[in-house]
Amino acid sequence: MFRKIGLFFLSLWLLFILIIIITAVVPMCLYSVCSFVGWIFLFENNIIPILCILSLVIGTVSYFDFIYCTEGTPELSFKITEIKKIDYEHLTFLTTYIIPLVRFQFDDPRYIIVFIIIITVIGMIYVRTDLFYANPTLAILGFRIYKINGDFRTEKRQNKILISKDNFLIGDQVKYYKLDDRIYYATKVINTNKNE
Give the DSSP per-residue string, 114-155: HHHHHHHHHHHHHHHTTGGG--HHHHHTT-EEEEEEEE-SSS
Q: Can you give the pLDDT at residue 50?
A: 92
Q: Distance (Å, rounded) from C-alpha 98 to C-alpha 33?
A: 41
The Cβ of residue 5 has, within 10 Å, a number of other Cβ atoms equal to: 16
- pLDDT number for residue 61: 92
**Is residue 195 in some structural domain?**
no
Mean pLDDT of 180-187: 84
Q: Rounded to 5 degrees, what angle do the CA atoms 19, 20, 26 make?
A: 135
In a domain, residue 66? The reply is yes
Q: Is the pLDDT of residue 192 over 60?
A: no
| Residue 55, in any domain of the structure | yes
Residue scoring higher pLDDT (6 or 95):
6
The answer to the question of residue 146 being in a domain is yes
Residues 160/147, Cβ–Cβ less than 8 Å: yes
| 56 in any annotated domain | yes
**pLDDT tens digits, residue range 24-70?**
887 777 777 777 777 888 888 888 899 999 999 999 998 888 788 77
Quote the CA–CA distance of 11 and 40 in Å, as a whole number.
31
pLDDT digits (tens, 9 = 90+) for 117-169: 988 888 888 888 877 777 788 888 888 889 999 988 888 989 998 988 889 98
pLDDT of residue 90: 66
**Domain tally, the chain:** 1
Distance of CA 145 to the CA centre of its chain: 12
Dihedral angle computed from the Cα positions of residues 43, 48, 54 and 58, in that order, rounded to the nearest 10 degrees: 180
> Which residue range forms the structural domain that includes residue 55?
2-190
CB 186, CB 175: distance < 8 Å: yes
Give residue 63's pLDDT.
87
196 is a domain residue: no
pLDDT level of residue 73 (50, 70, 90 thresholds): low
pTM assigned to the model = 0.73
When pLDDT is cut at 50, 70 and 90, the band that residue 195 belongs to is: very low
